[in-house]
Structure formats: C-alpha cells, structure tokens
Structure 1
Amino acid sequence: MYDRRVRRLAVEALAAGETLSAVSRRLGVSRATLRDWLKRPDPKLRPTECPRCAEGQLPSADYAHLLGLYLGDGCLSALKKGVYSLRIACDDRYPRLIDEAAGAIEAIHPNRPVHRVQAVGYTAVVSYWKHWPCLFPQHGPGPKHLRRIELDGWQRELIVAEPGLFLRGLFNSDGCRVANWTARRVGGELKRYEYPRCQFSNESADIMALCQWALDLVGIPWRMPRRNALSVARREAVAALDLCVGPKS
C-alpha cells in the first residue's frame, strides 16, 4: 500500500512527461500500479481529512486568498473535542466579500457547511474543523499584533504562486481605496486634481511586512507614511493593485 504522497508525486511526474519506467525506478512503484493510477483519479479526501496531514493538495489560489483574509479579519477558536472554529468577519456593506470568503472556505474544506452568522454591522463566515490549526499555524493566544506572525515554508511557496490573491485577502480585510486631492496653479488659476490611493492598515509589523513582500512579488511600489499604514499612490501602481484586489462592493 502506497501513501498519498507517493501517488501524488508519481502522477505529477507522469503528467510532466516522465516515462513509466523512470518513475517506477525512482519511486519503487510497479508500472502496473502507475498505469492504474493514471486510469483512476486519486480518491478525494474524506470530509474530516486534512490536506496537510494526509499529504493532499491545497487549492493554492483559494488558500492564498483565505490566508490573507485570516491575517486581516480572521481568528481560530478552540471548541470541545478538539474542534476549532474559523471565523472571518466581513463588513455587511460588501456582500461580495462575504461570498468570496465563503467560497474560499468551501474550496478548502468541502462537504461541510459554511455558516454565515449575522452580528451588528458585519457577517461572520464560520467553519468548524479539527484541522484548521494545521492550515493556519499562525494561530495562538492573544491578538495577532501582540505575537509573532511568520509563514511556514509551504505557505510562502503558495503565496509566491498566487501573490495577487493573497493581496486581495489582505486589502479586502484591512485595506481601502480613497480619493486624494491636490491643488495646482495652472495659468495663474488654482485647480483641484483628484487621484485614487490604496491604503493597508494593520497594527502587526509582521503582517505589514508580509503585505510589503507580496507587493514586491507583483512589482507594485509602496511607501509607509506611518508605521501601521502602507500606501500605494502612483497611478500605474493603483491600477495594477486594482487588478489584484478588485472593487469591494
């Protein structure tokens, strides 16, 4: 009996063009078994299985997005019998954000309901699972800005693959897009000009550093007007960030 990791490595190698003989020699799996794996897709994880513990695969796009939401407006809470609740607080003014948060959770933890709990001014998107701490090892006691927030190596790899969606989660949680203005004298007359600016605010220096890193990955310039506020103000930079984040409403 081969574990999921061996099966996944074999199927990925064959899909990349490696021959049956080469994969068989390298992984110690018979050619007959390899042919069978190609004919029959890998069975899905059981609803209670964790893609990290069971060597499954996380959907990188949905995970990158959900990680950004979690670092911004999410939390894990320990319940009875080892179960944890993942809660993402979403402003009721932006129903698209609520739908996207629920969709990302459903993609990562399918076959279990995602709940929408109404509170004053916001909706908490909630999911229950024993393995949420496996996927969010940043979980710990106290507010995020009072503890160290570092990504594991496998998390960084997923963000490098999908930095735009990670930024989408961060900015949809703790970001905003505003219209700034300035006055210039043109031909002796003072004229007012407006321009868009995106801002990300967070009290955690570690989360702020992750936002800076992701912006660097997609080549978007930024500056820090305050220690807890990041600004993207150049016209071309705002346009590039708009493609990643999209409108909130």
Structure 2
Amino acid sequence: MYDLTVRRRALAMLASGLSVSEVSRRTGANRSTIRAWRDRPAAGLSTTGTCPRCAETPHSPSPAGSYAYLLGLYLGDGCISPAGDPAKAVWSMRIFCADAWPGLRRECVAALRAVRPTNKVRIVPKQGCAEVNSYSKHWPHLFPQHGPGLKHQRPITLEGWQQEIVDAHPGLFVRGLMHSDGYRGVNRVRHGERCYAYPRYLFRNESRDILALCGRALDVLGVAWRHNKRNELSVARREAVALLDLHVGPKH
C-alpha cells in the first residue's frame, strides 16, 4: 500500500510526460500500480487509512487523547525503526512493556489501534517483557521527533500541532511518560528513631528536552515538581501526588 502523497506525486510525473518506468524508478512504486493510477486517476482517493499529516490539508491525528498518551510512551521508551525492505519505506513503532504490568500493555495496544486503526498491532514476547509494535509508512510523519541516534543525543521539540494536543490532554501525555520511564513508589526517610514513608512519582530520562516537556505538562496540570537529579524529576508533595494520581496512579 502506498500513501496518498506517493500517488499524487506519481500522477503529476505522468502528467508531465514521464514514462511509467521512469515514474516507478523515481517513486519506488511498482509499474502495475502506476498504470492502475494512470488508467483510473480518481479511483480510491478517499483519505480513509491515510495519514492526517499527509492529507492535502494536514490536520492533527485523532483521537487526540490516545495520541497524547502514545506520544508519552514513545518519548519515554519507544522507538521507530525501518521494517523490511528499505525501498518500501515501512516503519515499525516499537514499545516495550514489562510483563509485570499487563494493564499498561493493554493501554499501549489500544492507543496504537486508535491512532492507526488500519494497521495491525503485534505483541512479540521477550524475556520478562513484550514488544508491542505496529507497521506503517506514516510513523515518522506522526512522530517527527524520530531521527538517527539516541533521543538524548539530539534536540527533541514538539511541532505546534503536537503541543496543542499535549496542552489539551496533559494528563494523558504525562501518563504515557510515567508508564514508560516513570515510577510511583514509596519513599522512606529516617530521622533519628523515626521513619517516614510517603508516595512519590519519579520520571527519569537522559534527554533534558523530554524532561522539560514532562515538567511543562505537569505545570499545566498544576502539579508541583522539582529536579531531584540531573536526569530525573520528582513529584513528592502530598497534594501534588494526590492530583497526579487522578491522571496516572500506580502501574498495573
């Protein structure tokens, strides 16, 4: 399956006088497909199943809440990598979910299916975890933070349309971040003979940019936080933890 932008590009080349073989060479689409586009240029031009960012008038993916959650998962512990023949430009969105939290895995699968309903979601068992993946030509369009190398070794900034989604759904975005690289547990502190225990959230990431995105979303939620380490932020005040519990809570 080729996306709508490839088809439109091929039709424009044919209209300019290029041969089917030359258009095939330039676009990577096979000749039989290009001939079918040439003979029926208006057939199948519905945007169903195509990428909202590749549409003639680009728009934000939906449902926005599912996208915000998936964005958090991806930035925290996900990756986009080539799948199969590079000439076909198919990409795999891969997110690893520990076996200890089956509920988190179900949420990950549901978010992938919601954002790309026309693509299959696979669960590949690994030692102690499972790789949840989905193939699509459009993952780099939907997650433009994709690039060579590790995330903390390159700038990570949100596009304007992504920031609008995050600002509208900060709780789901933080939920995705916490479900990937976050932790809710009990901190124990001893003062003399007394031992105090209280719940807190930690989010650890080597990317300063991703830490800043988490902090901004927490600010929108009104959740107090602080940097407790160079690569980690903490939510520990009682009222802040209670507020974040409404959006995240313990992994399950």
Shorter-chain TM-score: which interval? 0.7 to 0.9
On the 8 A contact 1:73/1:90 being kept in 2, the answer is: no
Aligned: 1:59 with 2:63:
yes
Cross-structure match for 1:212: 215
Which aligned runs of 4 or more in structure 1 are off by greater than 4 angstroms? none
Cross-structure match for 1:106: 113
Alpha-carbon distance in 1 for matches of 2:46, 2:178: 32
| C-alpha RMSD of matched pairs (Å) | 1.6
Equivalences for residues 73-112 of structure 1 within 5 A: 73-79=77-83, 80=85, 81-112=88-119
Cross-structure match for 2:249: 246
Alpha-carbon distance in 1 for matches of 2:205, 2:109: 23
Alpha-carbon distance in 2 for matches of 1:183, 1:174: 27
**Per-residue CA shift, 1:134-173, capped at 9, x if unaligned?**
1000000011111110100000000000000000000010
How many positions carry a matched residue from both structures? 202
Cross-structure match for 1:71: 75
1:240 aligned counterpart, secondary structure: helix
On the 8 A contact 2:184/2:251 being kept in 1, the answer is: no
Consecutive unaligned residues of structure 2, counting only runs of 5 or more, are: 1-44
Cross-structure match for 2:226: 223
Counterpart residue identity of residue 129, structure 2: Y
TM-score by length of 1: 0.78
Alpha-carbon distance in 2 for matches of 1:108, 1:181: 40
**Per-residue CA shift, 1:34-69, capped at 9, x if unaligned?**
xxxxxxxxx98423x001212454211000000000
1:58 aligned counterpart, secondary structure: coil
**Per-residue CA shift, 1:204-240, capped at 9, x if unaligned?**
1110110111111101111111110101100010111
Cross-structure match for 2:164: 157
Q: 1:132 aligns with which of 115, 131, 139?
A: 139
On the 8 A contact 1:65/1:104 being kept in 2, the answer is: yes
Counterpart residue identity of residue 228, structure 2: P
**Per-residue CA shift, 1:98-147, capped at 9, x if unaligned?**
10001001001113210001112211110000011110000000111111
Aligned: 1:142 with 2:149:
yes
Consecutive unaligned residues of structure 1, counting only runs of 5 or more, are: 1-42
TM-score by length of 2: 0.77
2:247 aligned counterpart, secondary structure: helix
Alpha-carbon distance in 2 for matches of 1:151, 1:194: 37
Counterpart residue identity of residue 63, structure 1: Y
Cross-structure match for 2:127: 120
Cross-structure match for 1:33: none
Alpha-carbon distance in 2 for matches of 1:126, 1:193: 42
Aligned: 1:203 with 2:206:
yes
Give percent identity, aligned residues only.
Answer: 54
Equivalences for residues 3-82 of structure 1 within 5 A: 45-47=47-49, 49-54=50-55, 55=58, 57-79=61-83, 80=85, 81-82=88-89
After TM superposition, the structure 1 stretch with the greater mean CA deviation from structure 2, 154-163 or 54-63, is 54-63
After TM superposition, the structure 1 stretch with the greater mean CA deviation from structure 2, 175-184 or 112-121, is 175-184
CA shift for structure 1 position 82:
0.8
Alpha-carbon distance in 1 for matches of 2:168, 2:115: 17
